[in-house]
Structure 1
Amino acid sequence: MKALDFSPSVLAALGAAALFGASTPLAKLLVEGLSPFLLAGLLYLGSGLGLSLVRLIRDRGWKPTGLPAAEWPWLLGAIASGGIAGPVLLMAGLAQTSAATASLLLNLEAVLTAVLAWVVFRENADRRIVLGMVLIVAGGVLLSVPASGEATTDLAGPVLIAAACLAWAVDNNLTRKVSASDALFIAGTKGLVASAANLGMALFLGASLPATSILLPAMLVGFLGYGVSLVLFVLALRGLGAARTGAYFSTAPFIGAALAILLLGEPTSLSFWLASALMATGVWLHLTERHEHEHSHEALEHHHRHLHDAHHQHAHDFEWDGREPHAHPHHHPALTHKHAHYPDIHHRHKH
């Protein structure tokens, strides 16, 4: 029997899904009745402001981002696709689509993320990972199917929601390109841009800000469910790659449904338990993956938090207190070796 892998990256991916999944029933409890754009804007605002504050406290003031010049186009592309285009397309689609159909279509994000990762960005995936992804997404689809058989005959709404999922899939894969950099900065910047886009649209359409008793709890939910969740998502991208992170993250609907049952007293159904079994099997396939072969690393220079493991055997040209993990620009010489690995920031090689 294969051992389960609960590495920090796997735990980060599952933690991101748990926080994001929890944000849906919590938001329903706190801010029911707000316009979709205003709600999205408040959630993203809590994420952007909260993470920016955490970063200022951590760094004891403002410090340069440390993002290499070559990675700025990737980050800007991710923000444009996931922080601006995605929410706008989703809200436009929701206006023409039933909630049940929309929930079903949102499962496309994980599929499109994986397809782009495998086909466009050449991320490795074996049959075990593909089957796990299929089972997790099948569970999400089953969880989203309305009991009444509700459907929509208008194609405009579903097409817009599918386009939003594609935008977020592009965002996920572009964010993978910058995932070695400061996760707080990446997630905080996305939150600020997305909040500006959504709040701007809400105010343009005539919405007004709610009372403080609603505003602050909504921003807190956004900080945890969108902000901290996105930080964990970026850390998972760093260690797992886009396809595997997307698969773990697609368990969020199950987590949200489970919390809705606990917090809101919503009834369970046979489809809920079948979806749970499918998702659990898919996650198990991923947790028991072992990918090992001889591979070569090209020489590389980058900047991220690291331990002095097999990939970080370097000297320091500055005074070091011996604490790990730590971050600084460092050089990786060319190296060929064999060990179990994921398609992380050090293993983006061809097979």
Structure 2
Amino acid sequence: MSEPHSHSHLWPGVPLALFSAALFGATPPLSKLLLNSISPFMLAGLLYLGAGVGVAVYRLLRGKQAAAGEAQLAARDVPWLALAIGMGGILAPVLLMFGLSLNTASSSALLLNLEGLATMAIAWLVYRENVDRRLLFGAFAILAGAVLLSWDGGGVAFNQGALLVAGACVAWGLDNNFTRRISATDPVVIAMLKGLVAGAANVALALAAGAWFPAMSIVAATAAVGFLGIGVSLAMFILALRHLGTARTGAYYSLAPFIGALLAIVMLGDAVTLKLLVAGLLMGVGLWLHLSERHEHEHDHEALEHEHSHVHDEHHQHDHDGPVSEPHSHWHRHAPMRHRHPHYPDLHHRHSHG
């Protein structure tokens, strides 16, 4: 049996969430370059399909040993996966497309910032994930920065289109919370299935709406953007959910608009404005509040049996019949224990608070 591993409570969840946000934030400016040659509806479908195909190729190349280190999807996970794909991969993009057709682009951009708020609210109110004042202040500072970044003076038009865009954000919030329920399983498989199923459905809907396939060079470029900005980003997001819980991962993910704006300055020559600087300051304050969070108290672990990728740290002190490599995955039992250390609402710390 290995000795317990000591590491910062920020690792690896926070870097995973930030890299996920960075990759997703790069998707809008890259996609904007493609919009001259492809319809928005077809672009959404090909981005997801590119993500699914790219992750499927990676899954074939990574080898059996890497796959053995992750828990695989079981029959009990299929309903949650289906709900996540249906909400986030199919329903949300369709609601967004129809909402965009009935609403202004500026108003829709503002409303899209509701996704992070919806993710946190559902995690807090429905799944009772611990959210303290520091996390709330940090999340609202990040959200305020995202709203300011999207503001062009036109405000939000409260019409049918706005309701559809808001509905898309709620669907993505539900998707994030459903995905957390299966975050212990192989994130590569989840990202692959989400991309393939949602991509195929969205491409079919685009064709039915009268769209057409662009040139193969555009398809290839779109697939590459989808692989990195959706596929790899989604796999990192799922791993972050595993370590941080839904509310905190969603809050870090809200940094994506600012990252996208910075990339737009570099790639598209957009101007550096006072609005961007103030938004960056607000998001920086929110990020600091989250990074400096230290949730520590004496807590009880009830007996628990599950399967996921793990090393023999302080929560995994069990024996094996022979030598094993780490990380590895197998069904294992946690004996009841009581201790104190900094922690997030990860797979082993989803306890209630008074």
Could you state the TM-score of these two structures normalised by the residue count of structure 2?
0.93
For residues 187 and 10 of structure 1, the distance between their equivalents in structure 2, rounded to whole angstroms, comes to 19
What per-residue deviation string (whole Å, max 9, x for no partner) do you get for residues 30-88 of structure 1? 34342221000110011111111211222459999722332222221111111111111
What is the match of residue 344 of structure 1? 346
Percent of matched pairs sharing the same residue? 55
1:95 aligned counterpart, secondary structure? helix
What is the match of residue 162 of structure 2? 158
What are the residue-to-residue correspondences of 1:146-295 with 2, within 5 Å? Answer: 146=152, 149-151=153-155, 153=157, 155-295=159-299
Comparing 293-302 and 175-184, the one that deviates more = 293-302
CA RMSD of aligned residues (A): 1.8
What is the match of residue 95 of structure 2? 89
* Alpha carbons of structure 1 residues 153 and 343: separation in structure 2 relative to 1, 3 Å: closer
What per-residue deviation string (whole Å, max 9, x for no partner) do you get for residues 225-284 of structure 1? 000000000000000011100000000000000000011111121111000000010000
What is the match of residue 126 of structure 1? 132
* Alpha carbons of structure 1 residues 197 and 87: separation in structure 2 relative to 1, 3 Å: same
Unaligned residue ranges in structure 2 (runs of 5+): 1-7
Alignment of 1:80 onto 2:83: no
Match for 1:95: what amino acid? S
For residues 338 and 160 of structure 1, the distance between their equivalents in structure 2, rounded to whole angstroms, comes to 45
For residues 36 and 226 of structure 2, the distance between their equivalents in structure 1, rounded to whole angstroms, comes to 14
- Equivalent pair of 2:307/2:330 in contact (CA under 8 Å): yes
For residues 340 and 8 of structure 1, the distance between their equivalents in structure 2, rounded to whole angstroms, comes to 14
For residues 161 and 102 of structure 2, the distance between their equivalents in structure 1, rounded to whole angstroms, comes to 5
Match for 1:126: what amino acid? D
- Equivalent pair of 1:81/1:168 in contact (CA under 8 Å): yes
Number of residues paired by the alignment? Answer: 344
For residues 212 and 301 of structure 1, the distance between their equivalents in structure 2, rounded to whole angstroms, comes to 49
What is the match of residue 308 of structure 1? 312
For residues 317 and 82 of structure 2, the distance between their equivalents in structure 1, rounded to whole angstroms, comes to 32
For residues 106 and 5 of structure 1, the distance between their equivalents in structure 2, rounded to whole angstroms, comes to 30
| TM-superposed deviation, 1:300 | 1.7
- Equivalent pair of 2:17/2:236 in contact (CA under 8 Å): yes
Match for 2:118: what amino acid? L
What is the match of residue 320 of structure 1? 323
2:345 aligned counterpart, secondary structure? coil
Unaligned residue ranges in structure 1 (runs of 5+): none
Comparing 294-303 and 127-136, the one that deviates more = 294-303
2:62 aligned counterpart, secondary structure? helix
* Alpha carbons of structure 1 residues 309 and 144: separation in structure 2 relative to 1, 3 Å: same
| TM-superposed deviation, 1:137 | 0.1
* Alpha carbons of structure 1 residues 65 and 31: separation in structure 2 relative to 1, 3 Å: farther
What are the residue-to-residue correspondences of 1:102-113 with 2, within 5 Å? Answer: 102-113=108-119
Match for 2:323: what amino acid? W
| TM-superposed deviation, 1:338 | 1.2
Alignment of 1:139 onto 2:139: no
For residues 155 and 31 of structure 1, the distance between their equivalents in structure 2, rounded to whole angstroms, comes to 26
What is the match of residue 4 of structure 2? none
| TM-superposed deviation, 1:152 | 6.1
For residues 303 and 231 of structure 1, the distance between their equivalents in structure 2, rounded to whole angstroms, comes to 18
- Equivalent pair of 2:146/2:257 in contact (CA under 8 Å): yes
For residues 329 and 32 of structure 1, the distance between their equivalents in structure 2, rounded to whole angstroms, comes to 50
For residues 289 and 107 of structure 2, the distance between their equivalents in structure 1, rounded to whole angstroms, comes to 28
Match for 1:110: what amino acid? G
For residues 336 and 79 of structure 1, the distance between their equivalents in structure 2, rounded to whole angstroms, comes to 37
Comparing 45-54 and 221-230, the one that deviates more = 45-54
1:67 aligned counterpart, secondary structure? coil
